[in-house]
Each structure stands twice: as structure tokens, then as C-alpha cells.
């Protein structure tokens, strides 16, 4: 079932059928109707592949995420899908497992398939290969990790404000020894979060020791390792701030295993506010970020870039964050603070 078949069916040339179907001018109303009718009757659908080859646009976009099983990213994908589906576009979703080689391979695969654009959530934005691909490839939007020294489309959150909110909350609760679990790489978002931690440490003259910082990998297991390491320090930190919720959940698990109570013996704060944090059994104090909206914003910006203003000036969208105070933080060296059903207390910068 090709355009040739419907051309034959209404005894017209293929070019006429093409024009009629794609709403070009210069085709008589009557003819258009006839074509439309024939196409419907034969339930003709144009080959997206042939269209892509001819027009070099595929109405397809590629998304790279570190790990599709992480709710942070799957909700971002959901947000991307929200807006792209409306526009009749399809999504290639690639889960890179944080591996640079896999990311490169996927990026090539996507470009070979002529995606119209790319949305990238990745630690790896600085390798030679990747930079070469980005510089010669289709338009792209970065989420959460920008390229140093480049002005380009970016969607992220106010990492600094989020960390300050969390740190201030702990300081107000009387904590002076606050440990930090940082992310695995040296991406900009990791630096922003880590930077804010150090700034507050310095400003508030808190304990500043190398042993209070542990490099995690954003997984629950990594968080457990970090928790074990940090909780065995003497003197022990009274609060642990994690760069993401999974790490925080791991810390809590480690604390329980070691016989510490949360928050009585140690306060824990996460980052992201994945839905698990809201569960009544968990009630993790954490920094909220609008994951779905972030994805949506990235998709919208990418569409804008693909469309008219291919060479418009780059746009940065920074979403605000909120601290959702739940039950894993309490005054230093105190008893339990909140009951299980107290409403979230929401702090904004």
C-alpha cells in the first residue's frame, strides 16, 4: 500500500496525491476530496521512512537517560512524552547505565536514524567523541548537566537553593556535623550541589572534614555503603545530606542495620522527592524537583529549536525547588519530632 496505489485508485499522478494529502495549495477541492476518500478507503498510511529520507526530517526525537528504572528519569521521560505525543512525534528512549561507551553508541544510532533532536540527561558531556557528535548533530537540549563553557539550551533546577534550604534546615535544628554524599562524577549539577554544601559549611563554621564527604553512585546500595562509612566515624555526624533520594534511602537502611534510629540518632535528607519519599512508612525529608515539568519544558524547548528558530539564542530554564520536611529530620540529639501523619511542611527559598 503505497502512494502509487492510491494514485492508481483515483487515476491521478503520485505527485498530485502527495500534494492533496499534505494540504499543499494548487489542488482543486474536488480532486482533494477524491484523493482523501481513496486514501481512507485503502487505509493508506505514508511510509515514515521514505518521508524521512526525502525530507530529512523524521518526526522522531531521541532521549538519553542514565537509568530508565530510576523514577526521577522515568518521570522526566513521562513529561517529555506528554508534549511530544501531542505533536505526533515518537520517542527513542535509551538507557545508558551511565556508561560513556553505551551513550556514544546510542547517540550514533539515533543520528543514523535521523532523529530531529536529542534530549540528554547524562554525566558525560565532555568527552571528545561526545562533543564532536553534539557539535555536528541535530539540535539538542540538556537536562541537569550543562557543558562547561557553552551557552546552549538547558533545563535544570536551582541546585544551589535546594542545598541551602536543606543545609539551613539542619543548621536550624542544631546540627554541626553534617555529612554529604555526593554524586559519582564531576558534572555541573554535582558541582553545584557540592559547592552549596561547602559554602554553607564555611559560612556557618560547621565541621569541615574530608571524612564527612563520601562519593556515592546514586543507588540504594551505594547509599548503604556511604551510610556505613559515615556512621562509623568518630565523632559521628548527626545529619547526613544525600545528593539524591536513593542514596538517602540507602543511608537509612544502613542506619537501621547498624542499630541507629532515624531521626533520633541521625537526621537524613534526600534530593529529588521521588514518590517513595512520600510514602507513610518512609517520610523522607527531601528537596522536591518537578520532574515531569522538567521533561515537558525540555521537550517544548527542543520543538521550538527544531522549528522556526533553529538559530535563536539559547534558553536556560531553571525550575525552583522546595524542601519537603517530613520525618527523617529532627533536632540534633533529640527524641522523635513528628508523628506519622503530620502534613508536609514545605519550605521555599
Footprint of a copy of itself (CB under 8 A): 45-50, 52-53, 58, 60, 68-69, 71, 74-75, 77-78, 81, 85, 88, 90-95, 102, 105-106, 108-114, 220, 249, 252-253, 256-257, 275-276, 279-282, 340-341
Residue 54 contacts DNA per CB under 7 A? yes
- Between vectors from CA 323 to CA 317 and to CA 328, what angle results, nearest 5°? 145
Positive or negative CA dihedral for 252, 254, 257, 260?
A: negative
Stretch that binds DNA, among 46-54, 179-187, 245-253, 277-285 (CB under 7 A): 46-54
Nearest-approach distance from CB 51 to DNA, in angstroms: 5
Stretch that binds DNA, among 14-22, 145-153, 319-327, 335-343 (CB under 7 A): 14-22
DSSP 177-213: -EEEEE-SS--HHHHHHHHHHHHHHHHTT----GGGE
d(CA 69, CA 308): 35
Kindly report the length of the chain: 349
Nearest-approach distance from CB 260 to a copy of itself, in angstroms: 12
Query: Contact 153/305 with Cβ under 8 angstroms?
Result: yes
Residue 9 contacts DNA per CB under 7 A? no
**What b-and-e string marks burial along 218-245, b requiring 16 or more CB atoms within 10 Å of the CB?**
bbbebbbbbbbebbeeeeebbbbbbbbb
Among a copy of itself, DNA, none, what does residue 16 contact (CB within 5–8 Å per kind)? DNA
Nearest-approach distance from CB 111 to DNA, in angstroms: 12
Stretch that binds DNA, among 42-50, 138-146, 147-155, 202-210 (CB under 7 A): 42-50
How much of the chain is in helix, strand and coil states, percent to nearest 5?
45, 15, 40
Residue 15 contacts DNA per CB under 7 A? yes
Interface residues with DNA (CB under 7 A) are: 1-4, 11-16, 18-19, 21-22, 26-31, 44-47, 50-51, 53-56
Amino acid at each position: 500500500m503505497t502512494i502509487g496505489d492510491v494514485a492508481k485508485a483515483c487515476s491521478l499522478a503520485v505527485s498530485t496525491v502527495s500534494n492533496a494529502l499534505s494540504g499543499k495549495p494548487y489542488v482543486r477541492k474536488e480532486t482533494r476530496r477524491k484523493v482523501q476518500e481513496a486514501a481512507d478507503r485503502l487505509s493508506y498510511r505514508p511510509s515514515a521512512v521514505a518521508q524521512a529520507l526525502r525530507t530529512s526530517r523524521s518526526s522522531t526525537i531521541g532521549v538519553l537517560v542514565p537509568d530508565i528504572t530510576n523514577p526521577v528519569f522515568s518521570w522526566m521521560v513521562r513529561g517529555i512524552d506528554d508534549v511530544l505525543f501531542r505533536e505526533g512525534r515518537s520517542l527513542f528512549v535509551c538507557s545508558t547505565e551511565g556508561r560513556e561507551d553505551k551513550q556514544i553508541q546510542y547517540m550514533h544510532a539515533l543520528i543514523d536514524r535521523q532523529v530531529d533532536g536529542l534530549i540528554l540527561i547524562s554525566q558525560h558531556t565532555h568527552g571528545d567523541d561526545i562533543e564532536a557528535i553534539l557539535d555536528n548533530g541535530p539540535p539538542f537540549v540538556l537536562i541537569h548537566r550543562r557543558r562547561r563553557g557553552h551557552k546552549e539550551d538547558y533545563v535544570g533546577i536551582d541546585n544551589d537553593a535546594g542545598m541551602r534550604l536543606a543545609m539551613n534546615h539542619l543548621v536550624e535544628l542544631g546540627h554541626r556535623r553534617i555529612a554529604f554524599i555526593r554524586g559519582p562524577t564531576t558534572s555541573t549539577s554535582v558541582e553545584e550541589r557540592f559547592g552549596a554544601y561547602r559554602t554553607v559549611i564555611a559560612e556557618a563554621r560547621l565541621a569541615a572534614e574530608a571524612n564527612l564527604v563520601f562519593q556515592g553512585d546514586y543507588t540504594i546500595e551505594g547509599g548503604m555503603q556511604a551510610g556505613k562509612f559515615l556512621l562509623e566515624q568518630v565523632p559521628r555526624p548527626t545529619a547526613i545530606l544525600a545528593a539524591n533520594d536513593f542514596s538517602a534511602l540507602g543511608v537509612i537502611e544502613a542506619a537501621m542495620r547498624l542499630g541507629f534510629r532515624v531521626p533520633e540518632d541521625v537526621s537524613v535528607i534526600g534530593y529529588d522527592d521521588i514518590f517513595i519519599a512520600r510514602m507513610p512508612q518512609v517520610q523522607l525529608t527531601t528537596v522536591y524537583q518537578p520532574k515531569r515539568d522538567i521533561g515537558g519544558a525540555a521537550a517544548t524547548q527542543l520543538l521550538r529549536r527544531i522549528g522556526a528558530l533553529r538559530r535563536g539564542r539559547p534558553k536556560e530554564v531553571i525550575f525552583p525547588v522546595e524542601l519537603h520536611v517530613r520525618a527523617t529530620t529532627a533536632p540534633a540529639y533529640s527524641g522523635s519530632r513528628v508523628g506519622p501523619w503530620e502534613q508536609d511542611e514545605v519550605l521555599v527559598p
